[in-house]
């Protein structure tokens, strides 16, 4: 890509030199017109100077987000920044901030917030936008969106904007964040079909079948490497994250391991304190004791967890369905037969199981309140990405970085985590139809093995839709937690849930936790959430 741009600027430079030569030539050959030509030449020079001046004045914005597995910062002269300069005249940069499930990221972000030096735009995490809006630290985007981000403005349904407006603490309904909108279910559970084949079982649909399959994974050489003891039936992460299906089967509204607000006994309630949660925990304690649930679950970092999945040791897991190409790509190196399919939410008698769907997945970007120019420059970049006319260019990205051209066709390259940086900005408004178009495009021109992986992933995305349920707490404003950080961070829930499952606490501890939770702010927060819900569901 560097070569392409360099080639382009070289060409421009040559064109410029040629123009100069022609002008110089003219003035030399046409004595009588000399003064006129000099004026012309000066005019050109002034223009060129202006051009150079402009180049020097390219605005840059600092944008923070999830770097994924990339090992490089995004510098001002990085390919992606230059790409945006070419397209919208604004460059951007981003330091290498580790994500680590959001924990490392929020620490670094808080350091910048504490020194009153906010990045121009950033992914807010764990409701941090609530306090920042109150403090006036974030820009009011309401009037800028229709003009400077029309594609984002129009792609997001009005009722979703209305929920976003409820995060204005003054009650005036101003818009302070750009929501990540998923009009389809982007989460789901998956199971290894090749493991099922090896142990002679079918995709389980009930709790009993599910346990039977997990037991077979545990007992047998399900991955077929000759060792019957290296299989982990299902696993999650520290704080009980990313095992939502194991809660969802009991009707618990759970999002990436954080209990959500949904209707229980007729009223919007924190799922972490419901009897559904209690029953889910009892079952998980049982699964843990039988080792059907990885006994390292509450020690697994994001990296540990991925490593188990990618090394052909995990039989089932819960994650983002469109990203299943990641582990499949790694697995094919170890086990060419690796085949992943959607896992239904196992049916438990007496419960309506589901996978939590939030159309407003979370606030995706906020813009610091640094003035109009910052807002407009950030929106220019984000809106370009959401213009349907640029869809294909967005998918293929930058030549030499994201794709190469083979026989005149663009072919996507595998991500180079060591050599490149993350893109940081990308599409954040998704619906199933346009997603499927995007997924189709991704399989154009790639090798047969990759096509197989992409097809598995596409089928999983489609099959996961059946288990989705929208929750009442979709888009809940973070300000309901004002003054109750422990409740917002799920701290006491995480502790009691973990200790009961690993057997350190008896289940009765859950009941005292619920009592304590209500007493230490839960009552007030619940009251606020119910007021919010009355307003948001109008």
Binding site for Ca ion (CB under 5 A): 221, 223, 225, 227, 230
Closest distance between Ca ion and the C-beta of residue 313, in Å?
8
Closest distance between Ca ion and the C-beta of residue 194, in Å?
12
For the CA atoms of 35, 40, 42, 47, what is the dihedral angle to 10 degrees? 170
Strand pairing class (60-64; 91-93): parallel
Closest distance between Ca ion and the C-beta of residue 156, in Å?
47
Task: Report the candidate in 93, 135, 92, 140 with the shortest Cα–Cα distance to residue 114.
Answer: 135
For Ca ion, the closer CB: 228 or 419: 228
Phi, psi (deg, nearest 5) at residue 126: 50, 40
* CA 296 centroid distance within chain: 25
For Ca ion, the closer CB: 170 or 229: 229
Rg (CA), the chain: 27
For Ca ion, the closer CB: 3 or 225: 225
Closest distance between Ca ion and the C-beta of residue 228, in Å?
6
Task: Report the candidate in 456, 454, 428, 421 with the shortest Cα–Cα distance to residue 440.
Answer: 454
| Residues 6 or more apart whose Cβ sits within 8 Å of residue 397 | 80, 83, 403, 423
Closest distance between Ca ion and the C-beta of residue 302, in Å?
24
Closest distance between Ca ion and the C-beta of residue 314, in Å?
12
For Ca ion, the closer CB: 234 or 478: 234
The secondary element (H helix, E strand) that includes residue 234 is strand 232-234
Question: What is the C-alpha separation between 279 and 129, in angstroms, rounded?
Answer: 33
For Ca ion, the closer CB: 225 or 512: 225
For Ca ion, the closer CB: 116 or 229: 229
Core vs surface per residue 243-269: b (16+ CB within 10 A) or e: bbbbbbbbbbbbbbbbbbbbebeeebb
Closest distance between Ca ion and the C-beta of residue 231, in Å?
5
For Ca ion, the closer CB: 225 or 323: 225
Task: Report the candidate in 490, 500, 506 with the shortest Cα–Cα distance to residue 287.
Answer: 500
């Amino acid at each position: 890509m560097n070569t392409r741009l360099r080639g382009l600027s070289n060409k421009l430079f040559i064109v410029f030199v040629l123009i100069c030569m022609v002008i110089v030539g003219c003035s030399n050959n046409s004595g009588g017109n000399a003064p006129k030509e000099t004026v012309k030449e000066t005019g050109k020079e002034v223009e060129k100077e202006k051009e150079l001046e402009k180049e020097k004045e390219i605005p840059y914005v600092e944008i923070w987000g999830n770097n994924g597995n990339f090992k490089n910062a995004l510098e001002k002269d990085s390919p992606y920044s230059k790409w945006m300069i070419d397209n919208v005249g604004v460059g951007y940069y981003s330091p290498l901030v580790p994500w680590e499930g959001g924990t490392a990221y929020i620490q670094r972000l808080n350091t910048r917030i504490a020194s009153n030096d906010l990045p121009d735009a950033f992914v807010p995490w764990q409701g941090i936008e609530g306090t920042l809006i109150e403090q006036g630290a974030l820009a009011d985007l309401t009037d800028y969106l229709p003009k400077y981000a029309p594609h984002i403005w129009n792609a997001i349904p009005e009722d979703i904007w209305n929920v976003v407006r409820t995060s204005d603490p003054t009650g005036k309904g101003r818009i302070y964040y750009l929501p990540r909108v998923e009009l389809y279910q982007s989460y789901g559970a998956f199971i290894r079909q090749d493991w099922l084949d090896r142990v002679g079982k079918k995709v389980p649909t009930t709790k009993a079948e599910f346990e039977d399959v997990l037991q077979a994974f545990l007992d047998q050489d399900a991955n077929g490497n000759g060792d019957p003891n290296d299989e982990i039936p299902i696993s999650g992460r520290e704080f009980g994250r990313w095992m939502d299906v194991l809660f969802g089967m009991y009707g618990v509204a759970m999002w990436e391991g954080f209990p959500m607000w949904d209707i229980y006994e007729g009223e919007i309630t924190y799922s972490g304190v419901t009897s559904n949660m209690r029953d889910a925990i009892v079952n998980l304690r049982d699964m843990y004791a039988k080792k059907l649930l990885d006994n390292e679950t509450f020690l697994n970092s994001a990296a540990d967890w991925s490593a188990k999945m990618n090394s052909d040791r995990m039989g089932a897991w819960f994650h983002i369905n469109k990203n299943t190409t990641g582990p499949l790509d790694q697995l094919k190196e170890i086990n060419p037969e690796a085949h992943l399919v959607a896992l239904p939410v196992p049916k438990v008698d007496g419960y309506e199981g589901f996978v939590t769907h939030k159309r407003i997945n979370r606030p995706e970007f906020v813009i610091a309140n640094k003035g109009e120019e910052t807002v407009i420059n950030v929106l220019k970049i984000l809106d370009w990405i959401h213009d349907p006319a640029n869809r294909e260019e967005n998918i293929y990205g930058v030549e030499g970085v994201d794709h190469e051209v083979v026989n005149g066709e663009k072919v996507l390259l595998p991500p180079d985590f060591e050599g490149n940086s993350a893109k940081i900005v990308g599409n954040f408004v998704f619906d199933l139809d346009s997603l499927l178009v995007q997924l189709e495009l991704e399989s154009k021109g790639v090798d047969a093995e990759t096509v197989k992986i992409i097809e598995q992933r596409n089928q999983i995305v489609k099959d996961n839709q059946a288990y989705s349920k929208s929750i009442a707490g979709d888009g809940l404003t973070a300000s309901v937690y004002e003054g109750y950080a422990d409740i917002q961070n799920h701290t006491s829930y995480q502790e009691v849930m973990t200790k009961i499952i690993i057997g350190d606490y008896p289940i009765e501890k859950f009941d005292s936790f619920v009592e304590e939770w209500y007493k230490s702010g839960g009552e007030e927060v619940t009251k606020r959430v119910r007021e919010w819900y009355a307003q948001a569901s109008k």
